[in-house]
Amino acid sequence: MELDTVVVGAGAAGIGAGLALQKAARRFVILEARDRVGGRAWTESTSLGFPIDHGGQFLHSGDINPLVTVARTAGFHVPETPEDWTASSNAAPLLDDTGIRQLAHASKAFFGKLGRIDLDRPDQPVAALLPRSRWRPLLHAVMTFISGATPARASSADLAADSNTDIDLPIREGLGALVAHLARGLPVHTATPVTEIDWSRAGVRVTSTTGTLRCKHVLVTVPTNVLASGAIAFTPALPAAKQTAIAQLPQGVNEKVFVPLSGALIDGENVNAYSSVSSEDACHLQIQPFGRPCVMGYFGAEAAQEIVRLGDAGASDLLRSRLADVYGSASAKRVGNGIVTQWAQDPYALGAYSYALPGERAARDVLAEPLADRLYFAGEATYPAHYATVHGAFMSGQACVATLPAP
């Protein structure tokens, strides 16, 4: 029997779409390649013995993020106090008060310039806005955390058009755990990678490793690098404009290293710090999240590629030495071996989150456009106001379902 909709991918977008389809009482299924839901929002508790988020961790734009209320209502613990992982005070262990003040000034000027970009003027790469001062390397590093790309490759207008409000709220149980919680009760078929979508005529055929389904609409939520890889064959091929938009929205590389601690490294919990104020390869350190004995190092662009090459043991060594740079060599004794994430190698992710190439921010709208009232697209990359986030992906799935023709 023909389904109304097949959703491809059970990440935040697919789950947002699924909840909207369920609410509208449509006949649908979600086909998910992995043996779990959540996609790039994934919490696991095996590696360190407590929850860690390999991918999405913060509820960004916490004051306008619909998932904050959803999480609290469902009993998840979301602190009231946001974490400021771009605060100049994160450099406090490395700078004196004057240095912090100067950094705060440079950072405010840079982000202010970014926020005031006239979207009607020609776009520039983020690198063109970075100051020429001693703070350039650190701001470069921060932008690689934000985009996963070196600032020469990322559009500044795309960042300026983002509605991020800089309120970042973590979840004690994990953001991935919240997304998995939302998927309960949805008809998700896991371990079912889709290999082909034939949208040549009414009655779309979606072929996966377990067979072929017929449906009126298919809603594709896989990441842009997966679309670009050709892992899903489209018949007919996607139009040139769609393929160009996919190529203009690549995913950057962001990876995390988690290391366990034996005893507290410093006083406090959820402490944010930078590993250096003079290196483009600096990482962001999150120390003792929720008081747990661990440190997470966040790396972007080339630095992220390097830690993946190093593997678990090498990346742990690197993080130990970065911590020693900030907190002294004695700190190294408390830092054990942990794990490094592998998003860029994961065939169902192939990267962290989308950024737009300079001049190409309009590609997000092109990617979101449906084709022939049969083939629909959602996912973080399609949502210009909140791309690269879990809530943006979730809202993209819900918004996409609202545009489906009536059953």
Ligand X SMILES: Cc1cc2nc3c(=O)[nH]c(=O)nc-3n(C[C@H](O)[C@H](O)[C@H](O)COP(=O)(O)OP(=O)(O)OC[C@H]3O[C@@H](n4cnc5c(N)ncnc54)[C@H](O)[C@@H]3O)c2cc1C
Q: Is 129 in the site for ligand X (CB under 6 A)?
A: no
- State phi, psi for 20 to the nearest 5 degrees: -70, -40
Q: Which of 32/123 has CB closer to ligand X?
A: 32
Task: Say how far apart CA 147 and CA 155 lie, in whole Å.
Answer: 10
Output the smallest distance, CB 220 to ligand X, in A.
9
Q: Is 353 in the site for ligand X (CB under 6 A)?
A: yes
H/E stretch holding 104 reads helix 97-115
Q: Which of 100/221 has CB closer to ligand X?
A: 221
Q: Which of 294/393 has CB closer to ligand X?
A: 393
Tokens of 173: 């149980």
21, 31, 70, 259: which one contacts ligand X (CB under 6 A)? 31
Output the smallest distance, CB 16 to ligand X, in A.
8
Q: Which of 256/292 has CB closer to ligand X?
A: 256
Output the smallest distance, CB 271 to ligand X, in A.
17
Tokens of 314: 């090498």
Q: Is 232 in the site for ligand X (CB under 6 A)?
A: yes
7, 10, 183, 271: which one contacts ligand X (CB under 6 A)? 10
**Which residues inside 239-278 make contact with ligand X, applying CB under 6 A?**
254, 256
CB 149 within 8 A of CB 251: no
379, 395, 398, 400: which one contacts ligand X (CB under 6 A)? 379
Q: Is 340 in the site for ligand X (CB under 6 A)?
A: no
Task: Choose among 274, 87, 262, 56: nearest CA to 171.
Answer: 56
Q: Is 400 in the site for ligand X (CB under 6 A)?
A: no
Which among 43-51, 99-107, 234-242, 343-351 is the span making contact with ligand X, rule CB under 6 A?
343-351
H/E stretch holding 216 reads strand 211-220
Q: Is 316 in the site for ligand X (CB under 6 A)?
A: no
Q: Is 145 in the site for ligand X (CB under 6 A)?
A: no
Q: Is 343 in the site for ligand X (CB under 6 A)?
A: yes
The bridge status of strand 188-189 relative to strand 194-198 is unpaired
Q: Is 17 in the site for ligand X (CB under 6 A)?
A: no
Please name the residues in contact with 30: beta carbons below 8 A apart, sequence gap of 6 or more.
Answer: 6, 7, 8, 9, 10, 14, 15, 17, 18, 186, 187, 188, 189
Which among 104-112, 131-139, 219-227, 328-336 is the span making contact with ligand X, rule CB under 6 A?
219-227
Output the smallest distance, CB 388 to ligand X, in A.
5
Sign of CA dihedral 160, 165, 170, 171: negative
Q: Which of 52/349 has CB closer to ligand X?
A: 349
Task: Say how far apart CA 300 and CA 251 lie, in whole Å.
Answer: 11
Please name the residues in contact with 173: beta carbons below 8 A apart, sequence gap of 6 or more.
Answer: 43, 51, 76, 77
The bridge status of strand 194-198 relative to strand 233-235 is parallel
Q: Residue 228 to residues 172, 242, 345, 362, 380: CA-CA distances in angstroms?
A: 35, 10, 15, 18, 15
3, 6, 9, 117: which one contacts ligand X (CB under 6 A)? 9
Task: Choose among 13, 29, 6: nearest CA to 224.
Answer: 13
3, 5, 6, 11: which one contacts ligand X (CB under 6 A)? 11
Q: Is 327 in the site for ligand X (CB under 6 A)?
A: no
Crossing angle of helices 97-115 and 136-147, rounded to 10°? 50
Q: Which of 390/404 has CB closer to ligand X?
A: 390
Q: Is 93 in the site for ligand X (CB under 6 A)?
A: no
3, 19, 26, 55: which one contacts ligand X (CB under 6 A)? 55
Q: Which of 88/221 has CB closer to ligand X?
A: 221
- State phi, psi for 14 to the nearest 5 degrees: -65, -35
Size of the site for ligand X (CB under 6 A): 41
Q: Is 224 in the site for ligand X (CB under 6 A)?
A: no
66, 99, 131, 193: which one contacts ligand X (CB under 6 A)? 193
Angle at 27 between CA 389 and CA 31, to 5 degrees: 50
Q: Is 297 in the site for ligand X (CB under 6 A)?
A: no
CB 285 within 8 A of CB 296: yes
Chain residues in the site for ligand X (CB under 6 A): 8-14, 31-34, 39-41, 55-58, 60, 193-194, 221-223, 226, 231-232, 254, 256, 343, 348-349, 352-353, 379-380, 388-391, 393
